[in-house]
Chain A
Amino acid sequence: MKILAMDTSSLSASCALLEEDVVLGECFANVKLTHSQTIMPMVQSLLSQTRIPLEAVDLFAVTDGPGSFTGLRIGLSAVKGMAHALGRRCIGVSTLEALAYQYRGVDCVVAPVLDARCSQVYTALFRWNGNQLTRLEKDSAIPIAQLEKWLKNAGEPVFLVGDGAKLCYNSMKERVPGIRLASPALQFVRASSVALAALPDIANAVEPSALVPAYLRLPQAERELLAKQKISGDGK
Chain B
Amino acid sequence: MIQFTSHSTAQTEAFAARIAQKLRAGDVIACRGGMGAGKTAFARGLARGLGLADDVSSPTFALVHEYTRGELALYHFDMYRVSDFDELYSTGFFDYLGQDGVLFIEWSENITSALPEHTILLTISPTGEDTRDIRIEGDERF
Contact = CB atoms under 8 A, between A and B. Distances in A.
Interface stretch (B49-57, B78-86, B127-135): B78-86
Max chain B C-beta neighbours (<10 A), residue from A32, A34, A215, A226: A226
A176 B118 CA distance: 28
A63 to B, nearest CB: 15
Contacts of B107: 231
Interface residues of B, number: 27
Interface string B89-108: 11110110111100000010
A69 B95 contact: yes
B85 A223 contact: yes
Interface residues of A, number: 24
A175 interface: no
A71 B95 contact: yes
Contacts of A51: none
B113 A226 contact: yes
A140 interface: no
Contacts of A70: 92, 95
A133 interface: no
Contact of A222 (B60, B83, B97, B113): B113
Contact of A218 (B89, B92, B100, B112): B89
B84 A229 contact: no
Given A215-B89, A234-B34, A236-B35, A226 B111 contact: yes
A85 interface: no
Interface in A189-226: 215, 217-218, 222-226
Contact of B86 (A68, A71, A218): A218
B88 interface: yes
Contact of A234 (B35, B60, B91, B94): B35
Given A68-B92, A117-B114, A234-B35, 6 more contacts: A69-B90, A218-B86, A226-B84, A227-B83, A227-B84, A229-B112
